Homo-oligomer: A and B are copies of this chain.
Amino acid sequence: METSIRNHLKGKIKEIVLGDVVCEVEVDTPAGLITSVITTRSVKRLNLKAGDEVYAVVKATEVSLEK
């Protein structure tokens, strides 16, 4: 299976802030820290924990630019 999603940034989970419905996951990448907010159920289903190698994934229409 291939995805239409254009952005996949490899990194390592630095920290997870657990919440009742959503969690905040900080991922250390070569471009700096990337923060993701995903459901707590996904954190448990993927068994995410600090130190895991993951990809941060973002649809191109969600990316803005600053100059």
Contact = CB atoms under 8 A, between A and B. Distances in A.
For the complex formed by this chain, how many copies does it contain in all? 6
A61 B46 contact: no
B58 A63 contact: yes
7 contacts: A9-B31, A10-B32, A11-B31, A19-B21, A20-B20, A36-B60, A57-B66
A27 to B, nearest CB: 7
Contact of A4 (B9, B59, B64): B64
Interface string A3-31: 11111111100000111111111010111
Given A22-B37, A35-B60, A65 B27 contact: yes
Nearest to A29: B31
